[in-house]
Amino acid sequence: MDRAADALGRARQIALACHINPDPDAIGSMLGLAGYLAARGKDVVCSWGNEPFEIPRWMSVLDGRGFVVKPKEFPQAPEIMVALDTAAPERLGMLGANAAKAAEVVVIDHHRTNPGFGSIVVLDPAASSTAELVYRLTERMGGELPDQAAACLYAGVVTDTGRFQYESTTPETLRVAAELRRHGFDHARMAQVLFEDSPLAYLRVAAGALHRLELVPEASLVWTYLTQQDLERARATMADTDDLIDVVRTAREADVAAVFKQQRDGKFKVSMRSRGDHDVSKIAADRGGGGHRLAAGYTAKSSVEESVADLVRALEASKAA
């Protein structure tokens, strides 16, 4: 943390990136840090490595759009690059090449599967969110945190804790959230945009996915899937479906919930959640993905049927272990 504070304090130009298909903790921690650094007179630029590059709808409640550039406009060989909420270099997508050429790479993250890539690593798997870590870093560096930057960090904390629900919510998390809430921003409107803003198209896709929910009692698994065709029929986008896993995980009958979501390239991205009896980060990491003990993901190598069978075997093995 001290080395990160020192390096960022000395730099003039800072390039910030977060993981591909960013969630509010990725973008919130990135824009929050960018807003804080800009207020200290730094020249900042932000991006993430998706092509095509799309701005998520909920970003409308986060100030800092002005810092964001397309990945192609991101500095090729930054003097200092910060990777936020990024569990592995691959999660930088096309910005991985920029990180490889950066003189210094500061990694700020809370994923337990992060191998600690980068030249300065601020990694705390016990932290609720990357935004919580960024807030602690700004306290360490001192000076003023602009209201808009505080709002971005709050968005990261409130989403990654499941609105202060998950086990990662510590007294320290609530202290950070309380400090952030002192700033001037409309948290109730933010919560509406973050949590209660589904297009009908998504609700219809979710209805279809819930209709074909399957329970595998011997693995304590409940699962479903979504195809590109489902999305096309309902005119929904994959980004609309981030919250589907949060509905599936409420199934009382299973400890583990999984949603298999077909990407544009045809491969299925797997989202997993556990109520507490399984370490899904380990299952994900064994399959080239990663995440947290109770929330993790990976990209499946085969069909849904084969991937479910593989997941069932992994869950049964982890029970036996």
Which residues of this protein are in contact with ligand 5GP, per CB under 6 A?
87-88, 91, 111, 113, 245, 271, 289-292, 295-299
Q: If we measure between CA atoms, which residue out of 204, 205, 203, 223 comes closest to residue 213?
A: 223
Q: Which does 291 bind (CB under 5 to 8 A by kind): ligand 5GP, Mn ion, none?
A: ligand 5GP
109 binds Mn ion (CB under 5 A): no
Q: Which is nearer to ligand 5GP, 77 or 210 (CB)?
A: 210
Q: Which is nearer to ligand 5GP, 71 or 289 (CB)?
A: 289
Cβ proximity to Mn ion, 160 vs 255, nearer residue: 160
Residue 82 burial (10 A CB sphere; 0-12, 13-18, 19+): buried
* Closer Cβ to ligand 5GP, 40 or 198, answer by number: 198
**What are the C-alpha distances in Å from 86 to residues 62, 183, 298, 304?**
20, 27, 14, 26
Distances (CA, A) of 90 to 9, 116, 238, 268: 27, 13, 20, 17
Which uninterrupted H or E stretch holds 315?
helix 304-320
In sequence order, what are the residues at sequence separation of 6 or more whose Cβ sits closer than 8 angstroms to the Cβ of residue 277?
Answer: 220, 255, 256, 319
230 binds, among Mn ion, ligand 5GP, none (CB under 5 to 8 A by kind): none
Applying CB under 5 A, among 104, 132, 160, 230 the residue interacting with Mn ion is 160
Q: CB under 5 to 8 A by kind: which of Mn ion, ligand 5GP, none does 25 bind?
A: Mn ion
Structure tokens at 295: 């929330």
Map the footprint of Mn ion across residues 15-54, applying CB under 5 A: 25
Binding-site partner at residue 255 among Mn ion, ligand 5GP, none, CB < 5 to 8 Å by type:
none
Number of CB atoms found within 10 A of residue 320's CB: 6
Asked if the bond preceding 52 is cis, omega within 30° of 0, the reply is: yes
- As measured in angstroms, the least distance from the Cβ of 13 to Mn ion is 25
Residues in touch with Mn ion (CB under 5 A): 25, 85, 130, 160
